[in-house]
Amino acid sequence: RATRDATARDDGWHDVCGVEEVSRSNARRAVCVAGRHLALVRAPAPSARLHAIDATCYHMGGPLLWAEIEEVPGRGACAVCPWHRYHIALTTGERVYRDLNGEYVGIARKQRVHEVREDDATGRVLVRLSRDEEAWESDRYAMKAPPPASAGTGPGPRSGHVFAAGRGRGGIIGGGFDRGECGPGARTSGVRSMVAQTMRGGDGVAPWAMTGSGGDSSLGAFGASAMSVRRVRKKVTFSGEGDGASEDDGDGIEES
């Protein structure tokens, strides 16, 4: 369904939809609040709680509106990204994974979560954006519409399908852009390195979400780059012969 634009109120809350629209178990709704794209997700029973999270996965831009919901011991309901199966706690926005000891642990400040309230008196759902001024990784995608996706019983299209979707349709030429390589208008410089990075467990950047000249796509709703959290990656190179990617520990690429 089309994204619903919210109506702002004086108290900081935004009227986004009717309660009946998200009343059933596992209900979903895409909404846009002050230019920020969110996914409303109703967790299945027994919780049946309504959550509001950034609509695009922090990892590589997957559409969380079509995420499966799994109950994880000690972490509650988690959205499972349809692209790379990352688990994201709906209450805290942590990335949840199982360590070598079999314990479920979380990495904080990954997917920004927002306050949501169901007003019984008016029958409306209200959302108030997170007021945490620190950068969360999902901020870099939050002001862009989520990628193409379709509903279904299984996982949606993975990132490689979206990257390839524009082949033969003609993209923007020049200015760091390539014709159709990763979709119309997508920046393709460094795509292979980013894909290699995410395959190694790192957090990549979805090429479809990048911009060319005339704007910084990494700027979030708070006017600060989500990449202000400094991160050093290993340099990944491709030999083009047989073994694919190789890593060089001595030459890091620093992002800020």
Output phi, psi for 205, to 5 deg. Answer: -130, 125
Distance CA 217, CA 27 (A): 30
Q: Give the pLDDT confidence score for residue 77 in this predicted structure.
A: 96
In the predicted model, is pLDDT for residue 15 greater than 70? yes
Q: How confident is the model at residue 46 (pLDDT cuts 50, 70, 90)?
A: confident
How many other CB atoms are there within 10 angstroms of residue 68's CB atom? 16
- Return the higher-pLDDT residue of 160 and 45: 45
**Contact call for residues 80 and 89 (beta carbons, < 8 A):** no
- Written as six digits, the tokens of 232 are 């050093």
**Contact call for residues 60 and 81 (beta carbons, < 8 A):** no
- Return the higher-pLDDT residue of 186 and 240: 240
Work out the angle at residue 27's Cα, subtended by the Cα atoms of residues 26 and 32, and round it to the nearest 5 degrees.
130
- Return the higher-pLDDT residue of 180 and 200: 200
In the predicted model, is pLDDT for residue 25 greater than 80? yes
Q: Give the pLDDT confidence score for residue 170 in this predicted structure.
A: 38
Q: Give CA separation, 256 vs 20, 96, 106, 108, 152, in Å.
A: 43, 24, 23, 18, 38
In the predicted model, is pLDDT for residue 172 greater than 50? no
In the predicted model, is pLDDT for residue 34 greater than 80? yes
Q: Give the pLDDT confidence score for residue 149 in this predicted structure.
A: 56
In the predicted model, is pLDDT for residue 152 greater than 70? no
Determine the 3-state secondary structure of 4 from DSSP: strand
In the predicted model, is pLDDT for residue 211 greater than 80? no
In the predicted model, is pLDDT for residue 21 greater than 70? yes
Q: Give the pLDDT confidence score for residue 50 in this predicted structure.
A: 98
Task: Choose the most confident range, by mean pLDDT, from 138-142, 182-186, 217-221.
Answer: 138-142
Q: Give the pLDDT confidence score for residue 148 in this predicted structure.
A: 74
In the predicted model, is pLDDT for residue 29 greater than 50? yes
Work out the angle at residue 91's Cα, subtended by the Cα atoms of residues 90 and 93, and round it to the nearest 5 degrees.
65
Contacts of 181 (CB under 8 A, 6+ apart): 163, 166, 167, 171, 188, 191
Work out the angle at residue 118's Cα, subtended by the Cα atoms of residues 113 and 124, and round it to the nearest 5 degrees.
115
In the predicted model, is pLDDT for residue 108 greater than 70? yes
Contacts of 122 (CB under 8 A, 6+ apart): none
Q: Which amino acid is at 250?
A: G
**Percent of the chain surpassing pLDDT 90:** 51
Q: Give the pLDDT confidence score for residue 9 in this predicted structure.
A: 80
* Bridge partners, 40 (sequence order): 29, 52
Q: How confident is the model at residue 114 (pLDDT cuts 50, 70, 90)?
A: very high
**Contact call for residues 76 and 96 (beta carbons, < 8 A):** no
In the predicted model, is pLDDT for residue 87 greater than 50? yes
Q: Give the pLDDT confidence score for residue 122 in this predicted structure.
A: 96
Closest CA to 51 of 117, 108, 1, 95: 117
In the predicted model, is pLDDT for residue 95 greater than 60? yes
Q: Please list the alpha-helical segments (H only) found in the chain.
A: 139-142, 159-164, 191-199
How many other CB atoms are there within 10 angstroms of residue 154's CB atom? 7
Distance CA 117, CA 125 (A): 6
Contacts of 38 (CB under 8 A, 6+ apart): 16, 30, 31, 32, 52, 53, 54, 55, 114, 127
